[in-house]
Amino acid sequence: MSRRLTWSLLFGVALSLAALIATNDSDPIANLLRHDAGALMLKAALAVFAGGLALTLLRERLSRVLEALLFWAVVALLVAVVYSYRYELRDAADRVVAQLMPGHVAGHGRHVEVVRGKSGDFALAARVNGAPVAMVFDTGASSVVLTQAAARAAGLPIEMLNYSVNLDTANGRTHAAPVMLDRVAVGSLVERGVPALVVQSDDLKNNLLGMSFLNRLESWEVRGDRLRLRGYP
Looking at 54-58, 75-79, 117-121, 155-159, which range is the least confident one? 54-58
Binned at pLDDT 50, 70 and 90, residue 30 comes out as very low
Question: Does residue 16 have a pLDDT over 50?
Answer: yes
Question: Does residue 227 have a pLDDT over 50?
Answer: yes
Question: Does residue 215 have a pLDDT over 60?
Answer: yes
Continuous segment of H or E residues that includes residue 180: strand 172-186
Binned at pLDDT 50, 70 and 90, residue 205 comes out as confident
> Rounded mean pLDDT of the chain?
77
Cα→Cα distances 89→62, 92, 189, 194, Å = 37, 5, 20, 33
CB 180 within 8 Å of CB 193 = yes
The 8-class DSSP code of residue 109 comes to T
What are the tens digits of pLDDT across the range 168-202?
877 778 899 999 999 999 998 999 999 999 999 87
Could you give phi then psi for residue 62, rounded to 5 degrees? -65, -35
Q: Is the pTM of this model over 0.85?
A: no
Give residue 11's pLDDT: 55
In this structure, what is the dihedral angle of CA atoms 83, 84, 87, 89, given to the nearest 10 degrees? -80
Give residue 77's pLDDT: 75
Give residue 26's pLDDT: 45
Q: Regarding the domain delimited by 102-230, which CATH topology (the fold level of the hierarchy) does it fall under?
A: Cathepsin D, subunit A; domain 1 (2.40.70)
Give residue 136's pLDDT: 95
Cα→Cα distances 91→23, 27, 88, 204, Å = 75, 80, 5, 34
Give residue 55's pLDDT: 60
What contacts 188, CB < 8 A, 6 or more positions away?
105, 107, 108, 109, 110, 112
Give residue limits of the domains in the chain.
3-83, 102-230
What contacts 87, CB < 8 A, 6 or more positions away?
108
Cα 181 from Cα 172, distance rounded (Å): 25
